[in-house]
Amino acid sequence: MAQLEQIAAPGSEWWRSAVIYQIYPRSFADASGDGIGDLPGITSRLDSLKDLGIDAIWLSPFMTSPQHDAGYDVADYRDVDPLFGTLADFDEMLAQAHARGIRVIVDLVPNHSSDQHPWFQEALKAGPGSPERARYVFRDGRGKNGELPPNNWESVFGGGMWERVVEADGTPGQWYLHIFDATQPDFDWTNEEVKEEFRSILRFWLDRGVDGFRVDVAHGMVKEAGLPDYAPVADADSMGGNDEDVPYWGQDGVHDIYRDWHQLLAEYDGDRALCGEAWLPTLKQTALWVRPDEMHQTFNFPYLMTAWDAKALGDVIRESLDEFGKVGAPSTWVLSNHDTVRHTTRLAATRLPHGEGIGPKTPNKPAPEISLARGRAATTLMLALPGSAYLYQGEELGLPEAMEIPDEFRQDPTWFRTEGKRYGRDGCRVPLPWEADAPAFGFNDTGLSWLPQPAEWAEYARDAESSDPTSTLALYKELLAARREHGFGNGSLIWEDAGKDAVAFRRGDVHVVANLGTKPLPLPAGATVILKSQPFDGDALPVDTAVWYTTA
Ligand code: NOJ
């Protein structure tokens, strides 16, 4: 039975319906040839993004950083790391993107800085009780001589969440909090100086013309008063937990910060936007980040975390439209990013706690053919949904997770902090293949690459896929053009019933159906397929396939 779903508060702001393409700068394109991507590399490849048909790009951090967490450890929030270029390179990239009608969102990392940030260095020198230490979360240790950490919290990357410092007189001293690596000390967001500094950083980038910010760890900046002990429930997702009350995630106080930033962005023209990286266990909680006076978007991680199962997928879409609709925000949709196993691989995996990764010794690795079919079907469904969609670089090529990276190349702090127990995220961060026959597949012209590119990636290279009408690249271009033509980013959907193994809905005259079952699914008589996730003949929708069709 058909059922109408509304999305609330239709508005004309670009971010309500935009398709936003995530660029991971170190792996996108490398103009300098040092093996690490850079801003001039991005500028040189903007035409291919225009050609793809996206509306905006989000750049993971390119600010000054010692790169202990691939740039999510910022030492200067107002400059570009020399690895990636200069501020002038940034301005040029921004101007060139805007000239092509592509908006630009930058990554802001306000939960923590690098330990090389001047404020942290000052805090180390200034000593206990100083205003310099009050910008971070320093505490005395427990135990007779302060030799035990202030509480039992565990870092997302493994190990404890506290690091002890050596005071200026050479004695063991206080401890500081770091949700992530020890080189990423957390700011104290009850401190006025911290708040003022970030207002100024927002203005710095807004004045340069950016269209918005993706806000890192937007659910972690405020910690429960008193920092009570807490141990995660077994098998919890390390970024958000799967119980309701974690003293460092989702505390009420974070919302005041975003209300403040909302006002600040509203002073600027052009619908500047905030998108929160808030990993929360439920959609109800996630929607709190996008109440009308807070952020504009937040990532739909419950959707990303949903397994390839018709009931679960239908339910999460319904609930997303419902919960975001209740607060007047568009739903967002995302399947891959730089922290998760690529969805082309993940959707065929049996078990995958967030952040664990897949590597040479992982048992029962997903089969590449199933993975790609599911990945393409999932995107075909996603790009028909109302709201804003995020794509992660390389998914338009159907890139799988790089599962065979040898240990000696690994860079993710997760790998080191868990002593190799968790592979972490390197497998989704391998530099992109542009040209099948060029050094480093055209990532640069020297052949260097900060993570090794699998030899079989030649077949995924953009130039190879460009001339193949059945390629994943061709599919993404078709999907993006058709989504734009039909205005699918806005509006509502009508659910349809295509059986328990399918997810099916209608957008105007276009019916969308994905087969997540184990048997082909007959399409209605008279169906004219306008788009299919993979080639097939006949009137039955193969397993792991999605289509858009009309009827006469
Ligand atoms: C979330 C980012 O997406 C991830 O890559 C990073 O390691 C952590 N936040 C810490 O900044």
Of 178, 181, 175, 159, which is closest to residue 68 (Cα–Cα)? 181
Question: Which residue's alpha carbon is nearest to atom 5 within ligand 1?
Answer: 339
Mean pLDDT along residues 433-459: 98
Distance between CA atoms of residues 255 and 167, nearest Å = 35
Using the mean position of ligand 1's atoms as its centre, give its distance from the Cα of residue 467 in Å. Answer: 36
Atom of ligand 1 nearest to the CA of 111: 11
Distances (CA, A) of 423 to 100, 217, 392: 38, 21, 20
Structure-token pair, residue 341 = 């196993």
User: Looking at 190-194, 319-323, 366-370, 474-478, which range is the least confident one?
Assistant: 366-370
Q: By percentage, how much of the chain surpasses pLDDT 90?
A: 92
Residues 6+ apart with CB under 8 A from 513: 496, 498, 502, 503, 504, 521, 523, 541, 546, 547, 549
> What is the C-alpha separation between 449 and 452, in angstroms, rounded?
6
Question: Between vectors from CA 95 to CA 93 and to CA 101, what angle results, nearest 5°?
Answer: 105
Does residue 69's CB lie within 6 angstroms of at least one atom of ligand 1?
Answer: yes
The verdict on the CB of residue 73 being under 6 Å from ligand 1 is: no
Residue to substitute in 24, 62, 65, 72 for testing ligand 1 pocket (most ligand atoms within 8 angstroms of CB): 72
In a 13 Å sphere around the CA of 171, the CA atoms on its Cβ side amount to: 8
Q: How much distance in Å is there from the Cα of 72 to the middle of ligand 1?
A: 6
* Model confidence band, residue 10 (pLDDT cutoffs 50, 70, 90): very low
Ligand 1 centroid from CA 216, angstroms: 6
pLDDT score recorded for residue 3: 37
User: By three-state DSSP, how is residue 499 classified?
Assistant: coil
Determine the atom of ligand 1 nearest the C-alpha atom of 425.
Answer: 5
Cβ-based neighbour number of residue 2 at 10 Å: 9
Q: How far is the CA of 198 from the centre of ligand 1 (A)?
A: 18
Q: Which residues pair with 451 in a beta bridge?
A: none
Map 227-264 to HEC letters. CCCCCCCCCCCCCCCCCCCCCCCCCCCHHHHHHHHHHH
Give, using CA atoms, the residue closest to atom 11 of ligand 1: 72
Q: Using the atom order of ligand 1, give the atom closest to the CA of residue 112.
A: 11
Mutation choice for ligand 1 from 24, 216, 279, 301, CB with most ligand atoms inside 8 A: 216
CB neighbour list of residue 451: distance below 8 Å, 6 or more residues apart: 27, 402, 405, 409, 411, 426, 429, 430, 431
Mutate to test the pocket of ligand 1, among 67, 339, 340, 390 (most ligand atoms within 8 A of CB): 339
The pLDDT of residue 6 is: 36
Strand pairing class (527-532; 540-541):
unpaired
pLDDT in tens, 349-373: 987 777 789 999 999 999 888 899 9
Ligand 1 contact via 216 beta carbon (within 6 Å):
yes
Residue 241: left if φ>0, alpha if ψ -120 to 50, beta else—which one? left
- Mean pLDDT of all residues belonging to the chain: 95
Structure-model confidence comparison of residues 9 and 494, the more confident one: 494
Q: Where are the beta strands (DSSP E) in 308-370?
A: 332-334
Nearest CA to ligand 1 atom 8: 72
Q: Report which of residues 130 and 417 the model is more confident about.
A: 130
Ligand 1 in reach of 339 Cβ (< 6 A)? yes
Ligand 1 atom with least separation from CA of 72 = 11
pTM over 0.85: yes
Residues 94-144 have pLDDT tens digits of 999 999 999 999 999 999 999 999 999 999 999 999 999 999 999 999 999
Measured from the CB, is residue 180 less than 6 Å from ligand 1?
yes
Q: Report the catalytic residues.
A: 216, 277
Best probe residue, ligand 1, of 180, 299, 337 (max atoms within 8 Å of C-beta):
180
Q: How far does the centroid of ligand 1 lie from the alpha carbon of residue 61, in Å? A: 10
Q: What is the pLDDT of residues 270-279, one digit of tens each?
A: 999 999 999 9
Q: How far is the CA of 249 from the centre of ligand 1 (A)?
A: 14
Q: 29 pLDDT band (50/70/90 cuts)?
A: very high
Q: What is the helix (H) or strand (E) element at residue 392, kind and residue range?
A: strand 388-392
Distance 489 CA to ligand 1 centre (A): 28
The pLDDT tens digits for 223-263 are 999 999 998 776 666 566 666 689 999 999 999 999 999 99
Residue minimizing CA distance to atom 6 of ligand 1: 72
**Amino acid occupying residue 49:** L
Q: What average pLDDT does this structure show over 432-438? A: 98
Per-residue pLDDT for 15 more than 50? yes
Q: Residue ranges of the domains in the chain?
A: 9-110+192-472, 118-177, 496-551
CA of 339 to the centre of ligand 1 (A): 7
Distance (Å) from CA 371 to ligand 1 centroid:
25
What percentage of the chain carries pLDDT values higher than 70?
Answer: 96
Residue 7 has pLDDT above 60, yes or no: no
CATH class, domain 496-551, is mainly beta
The architecture CATH gives domain 118-177: Alpha-Beta Complex (3.90)
73 Cα nearest atom in ligand 1: 11
Contact 386, 7 (CB under 8 A): yes
217 in ligand 1 pocket by Cβ < 6 Å?
A: yes
Distance (angstroms) between ligand 1 centre and the Cα of 275 equals: 14
Average pLDDT estimate for 508-525: 97
CA distance 177 to 214: 23
> What is the mean pLDDT of the segment spanning 145-163?
95
Q: Does residue 181 line the site of ligand 1, with CB under 6 A?
A: no
Residue 9 pLDDT greater than 50, yes or no: no
| CATH ID of 9-110+192-472, from 3.30.365.10, 3.20.20.70, 3.30.720.110, 3.20.20.80 | 3.20.20.80
Question: Mean pLDDT across the stretch 52-80?
Answer: 98
Question: What's the pLDDT at 367?
Answer: 87
Q: From atom 10 of ligand 1, which residue's Cα is the shortest distance away? A: 72
Mutational pocket test of ligand 1: of 217, 275, 428, the residue with most ligand atoms within 8 Å of the beta carbon: 217
Q: What is the pLDDT of residue 2?
A: 36
